[in-house]
Homo-oligomer: A and B are copies of this chain.
Amino acid sequence: MKKFSNKTIARAFLYIRILDDRIQNKQKYISSQELSDISGLTDVQIRKDISLFGKVGKPRVGYDTKELRGFLEAFVLKSTVRAVLFGVGNLGQAILKYPGFQTEKIKIVAAFDKDSRKVGKKINGVAIYAMKDVSRVIHRSRAQIAIIATPSEASQEIAGIITKSGLKGIINFAPSSLVVPKGVSVRNIDLSIEFLSLFYDIHSSRKRRKS
Which residues of A does B touch, CB under 8 Å? Answer: 1, 3-4, 6, 9-10, 13-14, 17, 38-40, 76-78, 81, 83, 90-91, 93-95, 97-98, 100-101, 105-106, 144-145, 168-169, 171, 175, 177-180, 182-183, 185-211
Q: Is B197 touching A38 in the complex (CB atoms < 8 A)?
A: no
Cβ–Cβ < 8 Å partners of A14 in chain B: 177, 190, 193
Q: Find the residue from A3, A4, A198 having the highest chain B CB count within 10 A.
A: A198
Q: Is B90 touching A204 in the complex (CB atoms < 8 A)?
A: no
Q: Is B196 touching A105 in the complex (CB atoms < 8 A)?
A: yes
Q: Is A10 touching B197 in the complex (CB atoms < 8 A)?
A: yes
Q: Is B6 touching A201 in the complex (CB atoms < 8 A)?
A: yes
Give the docked Cα–Cα distance between A144 and B70 (Å): 42
Q: Is A194 touching B189 in the complex (CB atoms < 8 A)?
A: yes
- In the complex, what residue of chain B is closest to A97 when comparing beta carbons? B90
- In the complex, what residue of chain B is closest to A38 when comparing beta carbons? B177
Q: Is B196 touching A77 in the complex (CB atoms < 8 A)?
A: yes
Give the docked Cα–Cα distance between A197 and B168 (Å): 13
Q: Is A3 touching B145 in the complex (CB atoms < 8 A)?
A: no
Give the docked Cα–Cα distance between A177 and B1 (Å): 31
Given A179-B40, A188-B211, A211-B188 in contact, is the A81-B199 Cβ separation under 8 Å?
yes
